[in-house]
Amino acid sequence: MFEVSMFQIFVIFMIILYIIKRPRIGKNEPPFVPYTIPILGHTYNYLFNPKKFIKECKEQYGDCFSIYVFGHVMTVVSRDSLTEVFRNSDDFDFSSAINELLPFHRLFTYNGGITKETNIFHAKTAREQVSGKLALNTNIVQKYLMKGMDKCIGDCNDPKIVDNTWLTFNNIVALSITNIFAGEEAAIHEDLIKSFGSFAFDVGSLLMIPPILSFIHPKLHEIVITLPMKFGWNPVSRHREVVMNRLRPVIEKRLKEKTILGNNYKPYNDLLEYYMNQPNFDYTIPDNLSYHVENLLVLVFASINTTSRTVVDALYDLAGRPEVLNELYEEALTINKECNGTITILEIQKMEKLDSFIKESLRHSDNILALPHYMISKSYTFSNGYTILRGRKVLMCADDMLKAKECYGDDAEEFKPFRFVNAKSPATKIDRSYIVFGGGRHACPGRFFAITETKLLLHKLIMKYKFSTKSGKIEKKIYIGPITIPSQSSLVFENRVKC
Ligand SMILES: *[C@@H]1O[C@H](CO)[C@@H](O)[C@H](O)[C@H]1NC(C)=O
Ligand SMILES: *[C@@H]1O[C@H](CO)[C@@H](O)[C@H](O)[C@H]1NC(C)=O
Ligand SMILES: *[C@@H]1O[C@H](CO)[C@@H](O)[C@H](O)[C@H]1NC(C)=O
């Protein structure tokens, strides 16, 4: 008798996989780091030991080398090679690499998701309407940050322990962003704020599925994570419905105002008004409103969760360093006196120490590998002579670049909160090594808004509270593979002025 056990099938499958998936490396490619475990390659080190692994590879192979992870060869770049990736945006594409992790083109069914083409519009919106309207919107942002603070942290006459810090501060940021994206009229609705606040979280849940099937083929991973959508589950559509329901009456009201007031109509400064002014806007066509609402949700995705992340990282960095908190309080107090508590864009620009501190906090985001790009032209030859072909994924050594000694000096590894004071180097300024907002022509256009919002919220927090880590120590971030999330330990808040 001839019996085939599961085990034998498994072994045969693995052998086939081994043969078809053996990495093929061309002649002039960056050095390929050798590995011992077939199929798995460097996956284990990538997931569980990324810092040491990448450091050792860099020491041995230089600023440009390739590793083998989840069944794929990936080229890892730092220093000059990294700069080249940003410079040559016709050869290297960020959106296709993001779509592989999160299939936006399938999740967003009306606006085509986030592609190289649609991104031009979204980037323009972020640059002109979000970052570009900072001065106009500071008051509203400030008002709702304060409201959010009162609601989510509130009175701390007795020391109050805040758990779930990221979620808490995400709710505060969501309240203020909903008001300047959807407008104050729509933002009175709790469900809209909740929808905006949890959008990135719901969509991002797909990120948590490990790409095991990529060992066989990356498309297989995409097919499986989008399978639930075939049965009607789509995290975007639920939120789209909420947003449409809340925006429709506001749109009707504004259109009425327009007909009544004519030239006397005073346009609102929110994103809704901007989308309403698009030449192809017609909310009576259901698909058309869906299209514009999805455009709005793309910006929601890109802004709320990332801004709250910046705030929370800075909070932890501050909560573990009471002497820095005191120094920032002094600065805040001076500025607050000058303007009698009402901050405008001018005061925000005066917060130099705070700006430096936030920049240093961002520089210490500690992501080892980030900003994946796909090489999309026929082939690309780096100035070091190495060549990669179309379809190669490129990952950036974020931590290595952000702590480059030639840019920050011998103490580049250290956390020096006031490193950038008087250095003409604000937190929004992109340069060769400061790559937290990407680089080149496609650097994040929302960064001016994100930094301003972060400064404003931290300013208000510093004025109102003393805060510290519960442990009294500087808390470390948590690694998930080569990227970090904020610490999950508690923070303690206490009113500065007791009553
Ligand atoms: C932010 O988004 C990421 C992934 O998209 C998610 O894992 C994280 O929990 C989100 N954070 C909050 C506070 O929603
Ligand atoms: C509605 O939206 C689509 C995009 O899906 C756009 O191309 C079209 O011109 C819009 N306007 C009308 C009136 O349909
Ligand atoms: C500052 O604000 C307080 C109350 O908010 C007000 O009583 C006071 O007159 C203001 N001072 C100036 C100089 O505007």
Averaged pLDDT, groups of 10, the chain, 499 residues long? 73 77 85 92 96 97 96 95 96 92 89 88 96 94 97 96 97 98 97 97 83 80 82 89 97 97 96 95 93 97 96 98 98 95 94 98 97 96 96 97 97 98 97 96 95 98 97 96 96 90
Give me the residues paired with residue 395 across strands: 76
Q: How far, in Å, is the centroid of ligand 2 from the Cα of 270? A: 21
Q: How far, in Å, is the centroid of ligand 2 from the Cα of 281? A: 7
Can you give the pLDDT at residue 106? 86
Can you give the pLDDT at residue 1? 52
- DSSP structure class, residue 34: P
Q: Annotation-wise, does 444 bind a ligand?
A: yes
Residue nearest to atom 14 of ligand 1 (CA): 201
The CATH architecture that domain 23-495 belongs to is Orthogonal Bundle (1.10)
Query: Letter for the amino acid at 381?
Result: T
Residue that has been written with the tokens 């940003």 in this structure: 86
Query: Computed from CA positions of residues 180, 186, 188, 194, in that sequence, does the dihedral angle turn out positive or negative?
Result: negative
Distance, CA of 390 to CA of 380 (rounded, Å) = 8
User: How many other C-beta atoms lie within 10 A of the C-beta of residue 419?
Assistant: 18
- At residue 227, the 3 state secondary structure works out as helix
Can you give the pLDDT at residue 2? 59
Distance, CA of 173 to CA of 334 (rounded, Å) = 25
Question: Which protein residues touch ligand 1 with a CB less than 6 Å away?
Answer: 166-167, 170, 200-201, 204, 207, 305
The structure tokens listed for 184 are 């104050």
The structure tokens listed for 410 are 């011998």
Residue that has been written with the tokens 């937290």 in this structure: 436
Which one of 282, 283, 295 would you pick to mutate in the ligand 2 pocket, going by the greatest count of ligand atoms within 8 A of its CB?
282
Which one of 109, 110, 275, 291 would you pick to mutate in the ligand 2 pocket, going by the greatest count of ligand atoms within 8 A of its CB?
291
- Position in ligand 2 atom list of the atom nearest CA 291: 5
Q: How far, in Å, is the centroid of ligand 3 from the Cα of 147? A: 20
Residue nearest to atom 10 of ligand 1 (CA): 201
**Smallest-distance ligand from the CA of 341:** 3
Whether the CB-CB separation of 125 and 274 falls below 8 Å is answered with yes
**Smallest-distance ligand from the CA of 336:** 3
- Position in ligand 1 atom list of the atom nearest CA 170: 13
Whether the CB-CB separation of 463 and 396 falls below 8 Å is answered with no
- Position in ligand 1 atom list of the atom nearest CA 167: 13
Q: How far, in Å, is the centroid of ligand 1 from the Cα of 201? A: 4
Helix (H) or strand (E) holding 160, with range, is strand 160-162
H helix and E strand count, the chain: 21, 12
| DSSP string for 157-174 | SS-EEE-SHHHHHHHHHH
Residue nearest to atom 5 of ligand 1 (CA): 204
- Position in ligand 1 atom list of the atom nearest CA 169: 13
Q: What's the maximum distance between 2 C-alpha atoms anywhere in the chain?
A: 92
Whether the CB-CB separation of 428 and 116 falls below 8 Å is answered with no
**Smallest-distance ligand from the CA of 342:** 3
Question: Which protein residues touch ligand 2 with a CB less than 6 Å away?
Answer: 110, 280, 282, 285, 288, 291
Can you give the pLDDT at residue 80? 96
- At residue 381, the 3 state secondary structure works out as strand
Q: What is the pTM of this model?
A: 0.93
Can you give the pLDDT at residue 100? 85
Distance, CA of 19 to CA of 80 (rounded, Å) = 35
**Smallest-distance ligand from the CA of 308:** 1
